Amino acid sequence: MKKKEKKQNKALKVLGKTVGALAVAYAGLFTVFYLDLDGKLLYYVVEPFMQKRFDNMERRDPMSMPYDQIDSEYMKRK
């Protein structure tokens, strides 16, 4: 009987902790939402980083592409 009770208590504790953790996570997410923290992170941190990355990315020079390429040659490569 005691063993069963102990097990039940343990299960209740785990359940309580899980619910508590979920409640904290939910409240945290609500804070992010309400204070627009997602927007601020994206605007001040993520976008400038991405912008720099794309600005510095090596790209082919469009003017170096011959204008009269032949489609069939392209297909052969595939």
Partner 1 sequence: MKRFDLKKLKDLDAKKLAKDFWYGKPHGERRLGDLYIPKTGLYKHREWRGVKDTMYYFNNIWLYNYGHMVTDILKYSGGNPKGLVQFVKGTMRYRWMGQTYLTVMHWFDRCLEGMRDETLRATAWHFRGIVSACLYQIVEMFNRDITLGGDPEKWRKTIAHDETVWGGVFYGFPDVAHIPLQMIPYFVTCHCNNHTVLNYIDAAQALGLPGDPCPMCQAEAGIFLQDDVPDFFPALVTTNEACDGSVATSVIQDWMINKPLFAMPQPMQFDDDSVLENCAKEIEGAIKFTEEMTGVKFDWELLKKKLQDQNELQRNEWEKWDVAANTNSYPINGVGQALYRIFYSQYGDMDCWHETDAKVKKIMDKCVEQKINTFPMTRHRVIAWSCAPLYYSAWCTWAYNCWGLNTIINMDSLMFDMEIRTDSYENCLLDMAKYHEWAPMRRMAVGGLQHIFELWENMEKFNCDMVMMYDQIKCKGMQGVVGLFEDEFRARNIHAIWMPHALPDKRDVSRAEIRKIINDYMFTVMGEEPLDPSLLEFDDSNSW
Which residues lie near partner 1 (CB under 8 A)? Answer: 29-30, 33-36, 38-40, 42-43, 46-47, 50-51, 53-54, 57, 59-60, 62-63, 65, 67, 69, 71, 74-75, 78
CA distance 6 to 10: 6
Hey, what are 20's tokens? 């508590």
Residue (24 or 36) nearer to partner 1, CB = 36
Find how far residue 25's CA is from the centre of its chain.
17
Two tokens, residue 45: 């941190």
Comparing CB distances to partner 1, the nearer of 15 and 46 is 46
DSSP 66: -
Nearer CB in complex with partner 1: 4/34: 34
